[in-house]
């Protein structure tokens, strides 16, 4: 099923194989995931990414986890697209703080043509600073993807969120296939895909298997795979969703690493409530990327000083800029 000695890049994983990885004894799972990780990465290096909301709230989508949806009353005030100069200043501060990748997110259902020029200027300005660039702007047309690629955008984030079967329980304003279409446009443009999912939305283990299967069987594995733990937000349909078990979260990190051995696997949302020990096991399971800074779009994240202290305790270091 899985040969830890030669973790070949495969896009033909079956759900049965992935379920078998989940079912491995925990210590064996971590050993195999760490073995796969060491084939492709320095296990002491972690990529530092910083995330900025460049347009907050008022989104037409009804994603059940998101306080930026116009469908829910969460008290979040909508804002317009940030001026380019403010984005540049935030990127400069992120770089000074040690970030290698700067990610920009806008709460849109889809990118409007009227905003493309400003978005492209943000991309080129941030890239000129020597930072990797990533954007998440909702659905894209092929022409928009090409323009972002021409501007120098390195990664485009468009999460699949969960399994194809469970997707409609979380979102009804677009389909799982809509997500896949945008990811295809991103690949066709030459940009790298950033795509992952969220745990703790009431999904089953089978749904987590289905999510990993959908990612690991794409024509090319996503360059980055963010694994999020749901942050329940008052006013959203998932505000009372039970927290995902920490060991199950770590298992998902490990399975993502084993099935997509050359991808950056990111511990994304939810780190603020994770213990140092949980995060340490995530790194042992093959995670090698985090979001840095005290805010993730509109949600909390560990303080920079806390992350620096954790890295010091674990003997981890920031990955060099430009590492793909």
**Contact 242/273 with Cβ under 8 angstroms?**
no
Q: How confident is the model at residue 216 (pLDDT cuts 50, 70, 90)?
A: very high
pLDDT value for 57:
78
CA distances to 56, 65, 304 from 197, in Å: 20, 12, 24
- Which residues form the catalytic set? 59, 63, 66, 103, 134, 194, 266
**Residue 4: is its pLDDT beyond 80?**
no
pLDDT band for 324, please (50, 70, 90 cuts): very low
H/E stretch holding 155: strand 155-157
CB atoms within 10 A of CB 105: 21
**Pick the residue with more confidence: 26 or 232?**
26
Q: Which of 1-10, 160-169, 174-183, 256-265 has the lowest mean pLDDT?
A: 1-10
Cβ(161)–Cβ(170) under 8 Å?
yes
* pLDDT at res. 29: 98
Distance CA 202, CA 303 (A): 28
Domain boundaries, the chain: 28-316
The CA angle 194-195-200, to the nearest 5 degrees, is 140
Q: Which CATH number fits domain 28-316: 3.40.50.1360, 3.40.50.12160, 3.20.20.70, 2.60.40.10?
A: 3.20.20.70
* pLDDT, tens digit (0-9, with 9 covering 90-100), for 279-302: 999 999 999 999 886 555 455 566
Better-predicted residue by pLDDT, 271 or 298: 271
Whole-number percent of the chain with pLDDT over 70: 93
Predicted pLDDT of residue 10: 94
* Phi and psi, residue 18, nearest 5°: -65, -40
Query: What are 104's strand-pairing partners?
Result: 52, 135
Q: Write down the pLDDT at residue 13.
A: 97
Cβ count near 173 (within 10 Å): 13
pTM: predicted TM-score of the whole model, two decimal places? 0.91
Counting Cβ atoms within 10 Å, is residue 98 exposed (0-12), middle (13-18) or buried (19+)? middle
Instruction: Name the β-bridge partners of 69.
Output: 59
Tens-digit pLDDT profile for residues 25-58: 999 999 999 999 999 999 999 998 888 989 987 7
Strand partners, 157: 194
- Structure-model confidence comparison of residues 98 and 115, the more confident one: 115
Going by pLDDT thresholds of 50, 70 and 90, the confidence category of residue 303 is confident
pLDDT exceeds 70 at position 322: no
């Amino acid at each position: 099923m899985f040969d830890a000695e030669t973790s070949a890049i495969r896009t033909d994983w079956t759900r049965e194989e992935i379920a078998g990885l989940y079912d491995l004894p925990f210590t064996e799972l971590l050993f195999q995931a760490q073995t796969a990780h060491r084939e492709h990465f320095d296990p002491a290096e972690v990529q530092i990414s910083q995330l900025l909301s460049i347009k907050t709230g008022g989104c037409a989508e009804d994603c059940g986890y998101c306080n930026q949806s116009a469908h829910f009353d969460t008290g979040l005030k909508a804002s317009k697209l940030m001026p380019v100069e403010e984005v540049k200043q935030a990127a400069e501060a992120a770089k000074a703080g040690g970030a290698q990748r700067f990610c920009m997110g806008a709460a849109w259902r889809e990118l409007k043509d009227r905003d493309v020029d400003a978005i492209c200027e943000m991309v080129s300005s941030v890239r000129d600073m020597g930072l990797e660039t990533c954007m998440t702007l909702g659905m894209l047309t092929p022409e928009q993807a090409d323009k972002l690629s021409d501007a120098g955008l390195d990664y485009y984030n468009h999460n699949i969120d969960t399994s194809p079967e469970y997707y409609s329980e979380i979102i009804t304003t677009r389909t799982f296939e809509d997500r896949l279409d945008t990811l295809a446009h991103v690949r066709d443009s030459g940009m790298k895909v950033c795509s992952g999912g969220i745990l703790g939305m009431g999904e089953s283990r089978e749904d987590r298997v289905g999510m990993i299967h959908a990612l690991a069987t794409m024509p090319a594995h996503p360059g980055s795979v963010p694994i999020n733990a749901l942050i329940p937000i008052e006013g959203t349909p998932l505000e009372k969703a039970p927290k995902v078990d920490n060991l199950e979260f770590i298992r998902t990190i490990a399975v993502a690493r084993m099935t997509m051995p050359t991808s950056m696997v990111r511990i994304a949302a939810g780190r603020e409530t994770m213990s140092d020990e949980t995060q340490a096991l995530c790194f042992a399971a093959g995670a090698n990327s985090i979001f840095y800074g005290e805010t993730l779009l509109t949600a909390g994240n560990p303080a920079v000083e806390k992350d620096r202290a954790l890295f010091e305790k674990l003997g981890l270091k920031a990955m060099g800029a430009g590492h793909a």
